[in-house]
Amino acid sequence: MASLKKIARRSFLIGSAAIVGGVAFGTYKYHQPAPNPLQAKDGRAVLNPFVFVDQSGVTLIAPRAEMGQGVKSTWASLIAEELDVDPSKVTVLHGPAAKAYYNSAMMSEALPGRGYDRSNFQHSLGEVVGHMSKFLDLQVTGGSSSMRDGFERMRVAGATARETLKQAAANELGVDRNQLDTKDGQVISPDGRTLSYADLAQAAAALEPVDADLRPASQWRLIGKDVPRIDMIAKATGTAEFGVDVRLPGMKFAAIKQSPHFGVGKTRFDATVANTMPGVERVLDLGDAVAVVATNTWLAQQAVDAIEVDWEPAPYPETTDAIFDEIARSFEAAPNSTMRDDGDVDSLPADATVIEAEYRLPHLAHATMEPMNATALFTGDALRIWAPNQGPTIVQKSAAALTGLDTDAIDVTTTYLGGGFGRRIETDYIDRAVQVAMQMPGTPVQLTWSREEDMSHDFYRPGAIARYRAAVKDGKALSVHGKIAAQSTTVEGAGRMLGLPMSGPDKGHVDTAFNQPLAIPNFRVEGYLTKPMIPVGFWRSVGASFNGFFSDCILDEMAHAAERDPLEFRLELARAEWEPAAKVLETVRDMSGWTGSTPDGIGRGVALAYSFGTPVAQVIEVADEDGEIRMTKAWIAADLGRVIDPNNTRAQMFGGMVYGLSAACFGEITLDGGAVEQENFPDYDALRMHTMPQVEVALLENQPHMGGAGEPGTPPAAPALANAIFDLTGRRARSLPLMHDFDLVF
């Protein structure tokens, strides 16, 4: 075990962040509170940055992006658990961009090690390292981190607020605080008198916060239970405000045309026609893009479509084939990382059966249902932004660099997000709205991208190639040697997010390849980084989105070569490495009634992937339907250690699986002439009602630490499906999307 100091001194590239320096200013400084962004005024008691109480009641701050994962509700539940309020009777706000709302868990993924083998000491160390996000102002929603981040901190926030309100009541009633009880937003005295939190607010505001112990799990009312989501009524009635729904007095609507070639500008543009079109107010030159401001979005879009632009040529290989040639060339250089190197993969016995396979996965777009958009109002000395975003402090910094304003002069309102999946951690679409607003001082402008603009200007899941050499002998796994090449999301995406150069071994690049919880005696995984070509970024489950496919597909090929049942083969390897991984496999085996054989016309596949702290096993069943392949059933088992809200977690699990299956069947972004060929959903389809399998989800709580929920459902989906199709057809899918090589029902 490296010492804390040594780990702190090192600079690692890990998951989604680089840590430089570190715990040197960590343990001491992170305990100092960050400034509270909520101002106390007019009888409002601001008890801490997450709770305030005034005459209208209790307001909780859930400063994480609500992009469908239910975080607004689950975060509020953590506070409400200790504060003794009913989540449906309080107001829950996202709150402003602020240092106090940093993410303490995401950076802990950055620790070296496989994750599942983390000791308690390392786990605590992870929490310390996580607090470095505060110094980097990382108020970010991502990395399946929200519950791990908020689980303790938010209960403390609730408990402290509760005890402070009780102290105010104790002073008023002249009794000891310990004699008082709390329930449903009220303090109750031993003789049955009640005082509402609202009435105690002013007195509580004058007190020093009172510390409190956290309640034991046996007393929880909300954690571990199905709590109705607080955004559900709004989302069923069209009243939830997404980014595109922001409406301001005097607001104008804008559309944009950006270069189809990434990273370059235009040589000429002619807006003669656009200027004469109905509703058009301004045509704006944004340097490497053009925009039109009009009285409505559609009129702006028609006019921007009518602008003729000549663009500079693409400064990278112009076709998908040429890009993949470049990715393949990365194998010729030295590996960036060898994160696992157990035994000796180079010396295999002569009688071992060797399997060699190359897998190729395409670039992928996020394709959130709500296209990229943002609204901005620039007034010369201040800027207001309304945007569906995953990182408000990053938005603030980027806008400060564009406008020259201090971050204090930039106010960011985070709306609901119509999907995020990692796309909205980027600030490009908000920067564009700021650029437009800067040319329209005093006028609020909403910039909405067309679907075509959205799909062709993404930060894509990198295309990736894996080369595996594996061996089995006497029905056992003997060796796995995997090499993985792609552009680096860590170098490019985390570099953009942190504004720091990234160097060192890139753990995220090989995540879910080197740290699969499998006892394979000879096991080496090497990462190869390809130079930047087209923009790449964080796509639901990041490196695990391709590594889950590579590392599980090779396992299935090994099981077949070893003439073993694929589920039992995995189970044996998992049991010897990490019991919780074995348990998820046993659970899907039992749920699906896995027998190891399937009738004619039916195929079944299994996959296991450990990512973001959570092992997930999936079984998928496919059926031959008049020569076409239909997914009929899916079973998912996941071990999150602690499940905050089972109903919501199940939704994340099957939702993550669907995201992975959609990509596996239909998803690919290809380039020709340096430009993305896919324009809209007909070119980039997804699972729909009639292609969705029936699904059952089991949630386990065997592992000692809390795992993530938003991403771990995605990595096992594609391999489980590919393995099922092999079982049905006898043909291996070593590249995706499946629609190219198999007839799928669509």
Which residues make up the interface to another protein (CB under 8 A)?
Answer: 67-70, 226, 228-229, 231-242, 244-245, 247, 253, 278-279, 295-299, 367-371, 416-421, 448, 450-451, 647-648, 651, 654-659, 662, 680-682, 686-690, 692, 694-695
Cis peptide leading into 737, omega within 30 of 0?
Answer: yes
Using DSSP bridges, classify how beta strands 464-473 and 353-361 pair: parallel, antiparallel or unpaired.
antiparallel
Q: How far is the CB of 292 from another protein (least distance, A)?
A: 14
Q: How far is the CB of 15 from another protein (least distance, A)?
A: 24
Which residue, 320 or 691, has its beta carbon nearer to another protein? 691
* Integer Rg of the chain from CA: 27
Which residue, 272 or 694, has its beta carbon nearer to another protein? 694
With a CB cutoff of 8 Å and minimum separation 6, the contacts of 133 are 17, 102, 103, 104, 106, 107, 140
Q: Identify whether the C-beta of residue 450 lies closer than 8 Å to the C-beta of residue 459.
A: no
Which residue, 525 or 657, has its beta carbon nearer to another protein? 657
Q: Identify whether the C-beta of residue 7 lies closer than 8 Å to the C-beta of residue 23.
A: yes
Q: How far is the CB of 396 from another protein (least distance, A)?
A: 23
Which residue, 455 or 466, has its beta carbon nearer to another protein? 455
Q: DSSP for 156-216?
A: HHHHHHHHHHHHHHHHHHTS-GGG-EEETTEEE-TTS-EEEHHHHHHHHHTSPPPP-PPPP
Residues across the chain: 746
Q: How far is the CB of 251 from another protein (least distance, A)?
A: 9
Using DSSP bridges, classify how beta strands 337-342 and 522-530 pair: parallel, antiparallel or unpaired.
antiparallel
Q: How far is the CB of 252 from another protein (least distance, A)?
A: 10
C-alpha 79/C-alpha 97 separation (Å) is: 19
Residue in this structure with the two tokens 């000796």, named with its chain if needed: 344
Q: How far is the CB of 704 from another protein (least distance, A)?
A: 29
C-alpha 296/C-alpha 306 separation (Å) is: 16
Residue in this structure with the two tokens 């989800």, named with its chain if needed: 697
C-alpha 618/C-alpha 592 separation (Å) is: 10
Q: How far is the CB of 638 from another protein (least distance, A)?
A: 15
Which residue, 186 or 614, has its beta carbon nearer to another protein? 614
Q: How far is the CB of 104 from another protein (least distance, A)?
A: 25
With a CB cutoff of 8 Å and minimum separation 6, the contacts of 457 are 258, 262, 372, 428, 449, 676
Which residue, 136 or 661, has its beta carbon nearer to another protein? 661
Edge to edge, the sheet with strand 353-361 lists 337-342, 522-530, 476-487, 464-473, 353-361
Q: How far is the CB of 322 from another protein (least distance, A)?
A: 30
C-alpha 514/C-alpha 482 separation (Å) is: 9
Nearest to 246 by CA among 297, 205, 286, 291: 297
DSSP run (H or E) holding 450:
none
Which residue, 115 or 715, has its beta carbon nearer to another protein? 715
Which residue, 120 or 237, has its beta carbon nearer to another protein? 237
Which residue, 63 or 580, has its beta carbon nearer to another protein? 63
Which residue, 371 or 603, has its beta carbon nearer to another protein? 371
For residue 342, what are the β-bridge partners?
A: 523
Which residue, 226 or 308, has its beta carbon nearer to another protein? 226
Cα of first residue to Cα of last residue in the chain, in angstroms, is 52
Q: How far is the CB of 603 from another protein (least distance, A)?
A: 21
- Residue 214 structure tokens: 């956290």
Q: How far is the CB of 424 from another protein (least distance, A)?
A: 11
C-alpha 369/C-alpha 367 separation (Å) is: 6
Q: How far is the CB of 598 from another protein (least distance, A)?
A: 23
Residue 400: strand, helix, or coil:
helix
Q: Give the other-Cβ count within 10 Å of 536's Cβ.
A: 24
Which residue, 350 or 689, has its beta carbon nearer to another protein? 689
